[in-house]
Chain A
Amino acid sequence: MATVTTKAAPAVGDDKELLISGSEAVAEALALADLDVVTAYPIRPYDTVMQAIAKKIANGQLVAEYIVAEGEHSQFEIVKHASTVGARVFCGSSGVGWMYAMECLVVTPPLRVPMVALVGNRALDDPGAFGVEHNDALVVRDLGWMLCWIDTSQEALDTTLIAYRVAEDRRVFLPLAISADGAFLTHSQALTLVPPKEKVDRFLPRYDRGDLLLHPDNPITVAPQANEDWVIEIRRQNDEAMKRATTVIEEAYADFRRVFGRGPENPWFEEYMLDDAEIVLVGMGTISLPMKVAIREMRSQGQKVGLLRLRWFRPFPTEKLVAAVSKAQAIGVVDRDYSFGSPFNSGVVANEIRAALYNADRRPPLLSFICGLGGREVTLEDVKKATDMCYAAAKAGKAEARTHWLGVRE
């Protein structure tokens, strides 16, 4: 019998319940985390989080330096430097704004700055588009940023607290970007449990930069010219930190459940009706909603379909994901992004999963789909069509070496 492993969060004692959007939920978490420095610059849709933080500061619910920068490049650079003197920092952007900050995003991981950022996923215009695509956040996937995707306001709040716990762990000290689908999550309200500060204090220790603190009492030189003498060793240190993050993330979720009495047992992905699934669909973010509805309908007609909603993309949960999908008869990966000219012209997630499966003992046919770009709605018909193609591939024992675009005018 298939089981639903994520349940509505039970109200625990002294939590209060608020009707808030994903962006507002992140702002609630930031106030609880006693944020020190935040920099804002307007671009839709992520900027709703900066509006929510500004209100919190104006109303005395948070004491922090709130700096409105003159562009995203400065926005990310300012908090990078604030973090090096010991401040807990927050930043964020969307779409081309994130790209405008690119130089500063690149240097943050090797500087071991545990910045937490919100990416309100947005298409990379031109042409003009406010809607969701995941290419903005994914552009840093090779650079040492931890990346995760969230689905609900509750997950937004919880993941923000977990993000600081993980990023600021001395074993990690890497930046972390939380991705929230533009409009679908940044602007959509849902009932959300907000814990009291005492609980958060039990879960989240103070940021301690230790011997990397830039201060006259610790007169270090940061980021000198290293060149070929040392750069490869520094890259290797980044690589080791990202590997250690896997353990730290699992510890953080376990501790989160202990302190707050909720949260998933499996940090890496949500398993929706996966236990007996013949067809496993994979997606990230709010695409889970049409997928879950379609899956329930298909199950009522006897088709055993399940959803694996990937939360963590970096570090990538290779072994756990392979174990979860390799027993299926076919896998359908639905990307809300593109990677033009890539193998099979697939999206980024599909090719990552193909690579992860390469050494698996059992490799089911994998179909890649691109869907919902620019914020286009993903329909139940899209999901059912993808599932039918997966069943056909399962029957044939192999998938076509191509990518299927769903819901697109041909």
Chain B
Amino acid sequence: MAETTFGNATQVLEPFRGIKKVTLEEYFTSGHRTCQGCESALVMKLMVKAAGPRTIVLGSTGCMYVANTTYYTTPWVVPWMHTQLGSSGSAALGTAAGLKVLMRKGKMKSEPINVIAFCGDGGGADMGVGAISATLTHKEYNSLILLYDNESYANTDIQLSGMTPYGANTTFSPPGKVKRLIHTRWKKNMAGMMAAGHPECRYVATVCASYAVDMMNKVRRALTIGGPTFIHSLDPCPKGWDYDPMLSHELGELAIETGLFPLYEIEDGVLKFYGKTKAIVDGRARKPVREYLLKQGRFAHFTEEDLGYFQAKVDEMWDRWEIPGVIPFKRLDAARAALDVK
């Protein structure tokens, strides 16, 4: 039986050619009560601004649910619905499948409607990673899953997640007199994992709201290309990271400039680096990570040894990984050298 191709049609959202070309309409407006300097709130605003009015947004539990949607004061101009903490993948899939079948059977007017589900690092990279992974294999349903990563369970009082950086002070990993570092796991490599693990997911990207036009254009590309797509956004969090709210933008820039968080996209298996990350790939020196770490109170207990370990791990990302900053297999030349030694 021939399927109508319209069920898979997407909106064609052309990239904004510069900040002055960005549309004026806002679909995430007043009514939320996020903290001063909250980058995740900016991510919500830019995300839905890029997507436009014919969009449904699903939000899994986290700050961007709790702080954003007080009853009677919703900031969402587009239809919005809560989903469970680990359910951003399932929410995207169910919504997209419902729309598709109703249009296919003529029970709803046919038109491409964007479906975006967002999750925090706890909901996305910890609890919800299985559901996101499943959704990224369902290529017949168009949806975008956006992970806003502020590197802790920030809504419930700053507890560590699988995305909290090595050594950071959280309420579940407080530095003490006997143990200086409680949290000694290295952060998950979410975007690389999603790209490498889901061969039919056509688009995976990393973004940072410090680079707003780049971010919005990646959202537009993810929605235009069709099928399930994934974007990982790194969001500085004044409360969780313990810094002056005026520094949010600067910390986002430093995360890129130190090489800690590379900006890239993978479209149909083709990798492309962006902005300052591209400059690093092309040979520009990375800033030392201490410039980034020492601006944040969550690393105030770090010793020179800790800073050195952190820098060495970032150096390894760039000097030893087969695809620097993206895929953590050791470079083939390095691997061959190791074999030769034996």
Minimum C-beta distance from B154 to chain A (A)? 16
Q: Does B196 contact A (CB under 8 A)?
A: no
- Encode A226-260 as 1/0 by CB contact (under 8 A) with B: 11011000000000000000000000000000000
Q: Mark B67-80, 1 if CB is under 8 A from A, else 0.
A: 00111101011111
Assuming the contacts A63-B104, A71-B130, A74-B90, asked whether A37 and B97 have C-beta atoms less than 8 A apart, the reply is: yes
Tell me the complex Cα distance, A382–B249, Å: 74
- Whether A86 and B108, one on each chain, are in contact in the complex, defined by CB atoms closer than 8 angstroms, is yes
B204 interface contact, C-beta 8 A: no
Picked from B82, B102, B108, the residue with its CB within 8 Å of the CB of A224 is: B82
> In the bound complex, do residue B56 and residue A215 qualify as a contact, i.e. CB atoms below 8 Å apart?
yes
Contact across chains for A67 and B131 when beta carbons are under 8 A apart: no
Chain B residue at minimal CB-CB distance from A103: B84
Q: Once bound together, how far apart are the Cα atoms of A70 and B133, in whole Å? A: 9
**What separation, in Å, do the CA atoms of A65 and B83 have in the docked complex?**
21
A81 and B98 in contact (CB under 8 A), knowing A214-B81, A216-B113, A224-B82?
yes
User: Smallest Cβ distance from B82 to chain A, in angstroms?
Assistant: 4
Q: Which of A103, A219, A224 is the most central at the interface, judged by chain B CB atoms within 10 Å of its CB?
A: A224
Q: Is the CB of B95 within 8 A of A84?
A: yes
What's the least CB distance linking B100 to chain A, in Å? 7
Q: Is B125 an interface residue (CB 8 A)?
A: no
A389 sits at the interface (CB 8 A)? no
User: Are A220 and B79 neighbours in the complex by a CB distance under 8 Å?
Assistant: yes
B105 touches A67 (CB 8 A): no
Beyond A85-B98, A86-B98, whether A222 also contacts B80 by CB under 8 A is yes
Q: Contact between A80 and B101 (Cβ–Cβ < 8 Å)?
A: no
Interface-central residue, B66, B93, B98, by most chain A CB under 10 Å: B98
Selected from A64, A78, A103, the residue in CB contact (under 8 A) with B94 is: A78
User: How many A-B contacts if CB must be within 8 Å?
Assistant: 143
Total B residues in contact with A, Cβ cutoff 8 Å: 46
Interface status of B55 (Cβ within 8 A of chain A): yes
A148-B95 Cα distance, complex, nearest whole Å: 28
A104 at the interface (CB under 8 A from B): yes
B residues 122-165 touching A (CB-CB < 8 Å): 130-131, 133-134, 138
Q: Nearest chain-B residue to A229 (Cβ)? A: B71
Chief secondary structure at chain B's binding surface: mixed
Give the contacting residue for B90; candidates A81, A86, A223; CB below 8 A: A81
Q: Cα distance A58–B89 when bound, in Å? A: 26
Enumerate chain B residues within 8 angstroms of A79, measured Cβ to Cβ: 94
Report which of B56, B65, B93, B131 forms a contact with A85, defined as CB distance below 8 A.
B56
| CB proximity of A87 to chain B, nearest CB, Å | 4
Contact A86 B107 (CB under 8 A): yes
Q: Indicate if the CB atoms of A214 and B95 lie closer than 8 Å.
A: yes
Interface check A107, CB cutoff 8 A: yes
CB distance from B57 to the nearest CB of A (A): 10
**A60 on interface, CB distance cutoff 8 Å:** yes
B236 at the interface (CB under 8 A from A): no
Chain A residues touching B, range = 35 or more
A48 to B100, CA, bound (A): 26
The interface residues of chain A lying within 8 Å CB-to-CB of B130 are 70-71, 74
Given known pairs A77-B90, A81-B90, A216-B53, the reply for A222 and B102 (CB within 8 Å) is no
In the assembled complex, the Cα of A87 lies from the Cα of B102 at a distance in Å of 7
CA distance A8 to B70 in the complex (A): 55
Q: Is A135 an interface residue (CB 8 A)?
A: no
Check B1 for interface membership: any CB of A closer than 8 A.
Answer: yes
A36 with B98: CB separation less than 8 A: yes
Residues of B within 8 A of A65 (CB): 97-98, 100-101
Most buried by A among B54, B56, B80, B102: B102
Docked Cα-Cα span, A219 to B57, in Å, equals 10
Instruction: Give the residue of B78, B97, B102, B108 whose beta carbon is less than 8 angstroms from that of A219.
Output: B78
CB interface residues, A 187-209, toward B, < 8 Å: 206
CB distance from B166 to the nearest CB of A (A): 30
Cβ–Cβ < 8 Å partners of B74 in chain A: 221, 224
Q: Is A83 on the interface with B (CB-CB < 8 A)?
A: yes
B87 proximity list for chain A (CB < 8 A)? 73-74, 77, 104
Are B99's CB and A74's CB within 8 A? no
A225 in the interface (beta carbon within 8 A): yes
The answer, among B77, B90, B101, B113, for a CB contact under 8 Å with A64, is B101
Judge whether A60 and B94 touch: CB under 8 Å.
no
| Residues of chain A from 148 to 175 with CB closer than 8 A to chain B in the complex | none
Q: Which of A30-77 contact B (CB under 8 A)?
A: 34, 36-37, 39, 60, 63-65, 67, 69-71, 73-74, 77
B78 contact set on A, CB distance < 8 A: 216, 219
B205 within 8 A of A: no
| Interface members, chain B 103-125 (any A CB < 8 Å) | 104-105, 107-108, 113
List 18 interface pairs A-B (beta carbons < 8 Å), by A numbering.
A36-B102, A37-B97, A37-B98, A39-B94, A73-B90, A77-B84, A77-B90, A78-B90, A81-B90, A81-B94, A85-B98, A86-B102, A87-B97, A87-B101, A216-B55, A222-B80, A223-B82, A224-B72
Extra contacts besides A85-B95, A85-B98, A87-B101 (13): CB < 8 Å: A67-B138, A70-B133, A74-B87, A77-B84, A77-B91, A81-B83, A84-B81, A87-B102, A216-B79, A221-B74, A221-B79, A224-B72, A224-B74
Q: Residues of A with Cβ closer than 8 Å to B?
A: 34, 36-37, 39, 60, 63-65, 67, 69-71, 73-74, 77-87, 89, 103-104, 107, 206, 214-216, 218-227, 229-230
> What are the nearest 6 A-B pairs in CB distance?
A81-B94, A82-B98, A78-B94, A77-B90, A224-B69, A223-B82
